[in-house]
Amino acid sequence: MTAKAEKLNASSAWRFSVAPMMDWTDRHCRAFHRVLSRRARLYTEMVTTGAVLHGPRERLLGFSAVEHPVALQLGGSDPAELAEAARIAEGFGYDEVNLNVGCPSDRVQDGRFGACLMREPGLVGECVAAMKGAVSVPVTVKCRIGVDDQDPEAALDALAGIVVAAGVDALVVHARKAWLQGLSPKENRDIPPLDYGRVVRLKRARPGLPVAVNGGITTVAEAREHLRDLDGVMMGRAAYSDPAELLAVDPDLFGEAAPVADAFAAVEAFEPYAAEALAAGTRLHSLTRHMLGLFNGRPGARAFRRHLATHGMRPEAGLATLREAVAMVSRAVPEAA
């Protein structure tokens, strides 16, 4: 990579992000992740255009100002509906609108969106163009390298060429195929082999397009390796199941100090947000379910999880319950494996 390319890579808005994950990356999860990294780009769960246009918008789209930069991921395939949903998202203050072209669930197949849109790159281009015409914030696409029997070389090139022509601001590529028949959504996250090289070839063929890679990345150290060739890395399940890993994002990828010293300080920093949410009627479990892996590897981590699972579900559970759980964890620095 040339010095100029390295500079552009380092300044990419998509240098590191936490993947949109259904039932996981809700507003409380994102607020907690923001405590761990100032620089990570955060994404909502996928929200369908029908829900945005006709559902309870504040409940679906509302978020805390602490979450910025935060992107809304949309699911849909009607250009006009996506354009209107993007306008609504911009009005809520989102920093980006992302189109889902990668989810393989039965629900998205029935609705003609998600990964099945890999078969209709022309329609994806129309959707991106309509969204770009409706908003001033970046419009991005998250996709697979192909679906079913598609040749990933041809399929990904075709999609990229069309969305670039439509004005897309960045492409996030989950470096696996999706098998729409025969594999469950969970199996589609693990069984199709990863092909990071395919994503690198796309970037080399389109050096002007910001390209981020997703899939199978478990540590910030791994992310750093991918950033030698690509503009960004998106981490999913590992960021959720081992959130303390996010403490390495700012120092290791951005050359800045982490927002807090350690996992214990992260809990303390999250308390004001948690107190406000509890006062508004949120149950403690809705907040702490995103924190269960925070102390992985420390003596007392199991007791921490058990206490929150047992006592955090109770209607009266509050910050005292969380503090009791944290007190069960050893503050001694864990020995290296």
Separation between Cα atoms, residue 287 and residue 28, nearest integer Å: 6
Q: Which of 169, 143, 180, 174 is nearest to 158 (CA)?
A: 143
90-146 tens-digit pLDDT = 999 999 999 999 988 766 666 677 889 999 999 999 999 999 999 999 999 999 999
Separation between Cα atoms, residue 73 and residue 77, nearest integer Å: 13
Phi, psi (degrees; rounded to nearest 5) at 146: 165, 175
> Which active-site residues does the annotation give?
103
What would be the CATH architecture of the domain defined by 263-326? Up-down Bundle (1.20)
Q: DSSP secondary structure string, 282-336? A: --HHHHHTTSTTTTTTSTTHHHHHHHHHHHTTSTT--HHHHHHHHTTS--SPPPP
Separation between Cα atoms, residue 109 and residue 250, nearest integer Å: 37
- The pLDDT of residue 2 is above 70: no
What mean pLDDT comes out for the span 307-332? 96
Q: Using the Cα atoms of residue 7, residue 10, residue 13 and residue 14 in order, give the sign of their dihedral.
A: positive
CATH 3.20.20.70, applies to 3-245? yes
17-51 tens-digit pLDDT = 999 999 999 999 999 999 999 999 999 999 999 99
Q: Output the CA–CA distances (angstroms, integers) from residue 217 to 17, 149, 209, 224, in the order listed.
A: 12, 25, 21, 10
pLDDT at residue 64, as a whole number: 96
pLDDT at residue 107, as a whole number: 66
Question: Is 174 annotated as belonging to a binding site?
Answer: yes
Higher pLDDT, 94 or 186: 94
Which two three-digit tokens encode residue 33? Answer: 């992740």
Q: Do 3-245 and 263-326 fold alike per CATH?
A: no
pLDDT at residue 24, as a whole number: 96
201-246 tens-digit pLDDT = 999 999 999 999 999 999 999 999 999 999 999 999 999 999 999 9
pLDDT at residue 89, as a whole number: 98
Separation between Cα atoms, residue 111 and residue 203, nearest integer Å: 30
Percent of the chain with pLDDT over 90: 85
Q: DSSP secondary structure string, 60-115? A: HH---GGG-SEEEEEE---HHHHHHHHHHHHHHT-SEEEEEE----HHHHHTT-GG
pLDDT at residue 110, as a whole number: 65
Question: Is 215 annotated as belonging to a binding site?
Answer: yes
Higher pLDDT, 12 or 89: 89
pLDDT at residue 108, as a whole number: 62
What mean pLDDT comes out for the span 172-180? 92
**Residue-averaged pLDDT of the chain:** 93
User: Residue 32: CB partners within 8 Å, gap ≥ 6?
Assistant: 243, 266, 270, 273, 287, 290, 291
Question: Is 73 annotated as belonging to a binding site?
Answer: yes
User: Radius of gyration of the chain from Cα atoms?
Assistant: 20
Question: Is 216 annotated as belonging to a binding site?
Answer: yes
Higher pLDDT, 6 or 40: 40
| Strand partners for 71 | 43, 96
- The pLDDT of residue 185 is above 90: no
3 state DSSP class of 146? strand
Domain ranges of the chain: 3-245, 263-326
Terminal Cα-to-Cα distance of the chain (whole angstroms): 33
- The pLDDT of residue 4 is above 90: no
- The pLDDT of residue 335 is above 50: yes
58-79 tens-digit pLDDT = 999 999 999 999 999 999 999 9
What mean pLDDT comes out for the span 300-328? 97
pLDDT at residue 80, as a whole number: 98
- The pLDDT of residue 176 is above 70: yes
Percent of the chain with pLDDT over 70: 93
- Which run of H or E residues covers position 144? strand 139-147
